[in-house]
Amino acid sequence: MSQQIIIDYWVEKAGEDLALARDNFKSGRYQNAVRDAYFACFHAFSAVLIKEGKRFKKHKEVRSMLHRDFIRTKKIDSFWGKHYDWLFDNRHKADYRPLVKFDPDQVREIVEESEAFVKEMAGL
């Protein structure tokens, strides 16, 4: 399978995840919106990593490469690292901790920032 097919697949997944995040936010399913926003960013950045020939197996590796190879080298603004870290941590809370609640205004902002993150990654 060609590298471009895989990249296109991850980009498409990121778009689907964003659509789900928006829909879940509008429906008041804030935990799901956070999870979907995380996966949108994860899939978008995974496409960038694959384009650069980088291999990974775990979500922590992707997060580490974001900071090491893109933020420290100033390929992308440090704001995106903070955004990704928030999503990474809170996606785990949404999935694995009982009774976690998210503020609707914060989730709206996170979904909007995730849309911008995906666009930023498309530019890379």
| Domain parsing of the chain, residue ranges | 3-122
Instruction: Give 94's pLDDT tier (boundaries 50, 70, 90).
Output: very high
Mean pLDDT of 113-123: 97
Q: What is the DSSP letter of 75?
A: S
19-59 pLDDT, tens digit each? 999 999 999 999 999 999 999 999 999 999 999 999 999 99
pTM: 0.96
Q: Are 86 and 29 in contact (CB under 8 A)?
A: no
Note the pLDDT of residue 7. 96
Question: The tokens of 58 are what?
Answer: 């775990």
Q: Are 60 and 23 in contact (CB under 8 A)?
A: no
Note the pLDDT of residue 21. 98
CB atoms within 10 A of CB 99: 4
Selection from 84, 56, 74 nearest residue 124 by Cα: 74
Mean pLDDT for the chain overall: 97
Q: What is the DSSP letter of 57?
A: S
49-62 pLDDT, tens digit each? 999 999 999 999 99
Note the pLDDT of residue 1. 79
Q: Which CATH number fits domain 3-122: 3.30.300.30, 1.20.120.330, 3.40.50.10490, 3.30.460.10?
A: 1.20.120.330
